[in-house]
Amino acid sequence: MSKKSSFSTAGERLTNGLLKENPTFVLMLGMCPTLAVTTSAINGLGMGLTTTVVLMLSNLIISLLRGIIPNRVRIPAFIVIIASFVTAVQLLLEAYIPSLNEALGMYIPLIVVNCIILGRAESYAYSNPPIPSLFDGIGMGLGFSFALTCIGAVREFLGAGTFFDYPIMPDSYTPITIFILAPGAFFVLAALTAFQNYLKESREKVGKEARHIGSGCSEDCMNCSDKGCSKRFYDTTAVNQGKNDELEFIDMEKGDR
């Protein structure tokens, strides 16, 4: 592999994790920390970056060891590698950023079972060379951090009227408390996912038929105004046809009598 191509692979892995396969908004992985710790932007960012460090290092090591780890025990081997990094990161956090450690609490040890990390190990690092795997980890981790920070920022803004703990709303603002409670996490996650789907769909240049195949088609051909659709099975012209048939049939009956 030449230098240039490995460089472009690395770049491709970065944008893949950040946008195309964003772990939170597209792959819907790691929902537990996403919903639980994003009560503020700083918590989201802290959780995201912690996961990024673990993801990066575990991807690198697993990729390096992929020739040695036997296929049948790969999952336990992955878990051991991930767990060692999580322990190291937690000890570091405890020593240098105790406030963040306290805010994230239980969710730091739970990074071990975060399905993004295991998923990337299984689907990418275990079958790819170390450098792309490292960048895959960075891309995925940054995508996760970006998503968590966005969710955290929206929830913090609506639910507490602050942005990274800095008050930006006037004092008369009554925070909508539900957004920093559990239900708010679901609302914001769903809204942001819908928003990125909207952006993606409006950017995609699709052919006339392709849009019916995606989620845009409600499958409700009866009330659909698009008469030229090839998937259409209900023909609106047939309704009038049927009425005429019925009238003719009755006329025939009269004729018989």
Partner 1 sequence: MSDLLKVSSNPHIRSKSTTVGIMAAVIVALLPAAGFGIYNFGLRALLVILVTIASTVLTEFLFGLYKKKLTVIDLSAVVTGLLLALNLPVNIPLWMAALGGVFAILVVKMLFGGLGQNFMNPALAARCFLLISFPLQMTDFACDAYSGATPLAIIKAGGGVDVTDMILGNTAGTIGETSMIALVAGACFLLLTGVIDLRIPGSYIVTFIVFIVLFGGRGFDPSYISAQLAGGGLMLGAFFMATDYVTRPITIKGQYLFGVFLGLMTGIFRLFGPSAEGVSYAIILGNLLVPLIEKVTRPVAFGKGGRRYEK
Nearer to partner 1, 28 or 75 (CB): 28
SS3 26: coil
Is residue 114 within 8 Å of 33, Cβ to Cβ? Answer: yes
Tokens of 109: 């040890």
Please compute, for residue 42, the number of CA atoms within 13 A of its CA located in the half-sphere on the CB side.
11
Piece of 31-39, 60-68, 124-132, 169-177 that binds partner 1 (CB under 8 A): 169-177
Largest CA distance in the chain: 100
How distant is the alpha carbon of residue 129 from its chain centre? Answer: 25
Shortest gap between Cβ of 26 and partner 1 (angstroms)?
Answer: 20
What's at 224, amino acid-wise?
C
- 3-state SS of 219-236 is CCHHHCCCCCCCCCCCCC
Two tokens, residue 104: 């994230």
Q: Please select the residue that binds partner 1; options are 115, 178, 217, 229, rule is CB under 8 A.
A: 178
Nearer to partner 1 by C-beta: 7 or 195? 195
Taking the least distance from each CB to partner 1, the nearer of 4 and 257 is: 257
Site track 230-249 with partner 1 (rule: CB under 8 A), x = hit:
------------x---x--x
207 part of the interface to partner 1, by CB under 8 A: no
Should residue 183 be labelled a site residue for partner 1 when binding is judged by CB under 8 A?
Answer: yes
Chain positions contacting partner 1, by CB under 8 A: 174, 176-179, 181, 183, 187, 242, 246, 249-250, 253, 257
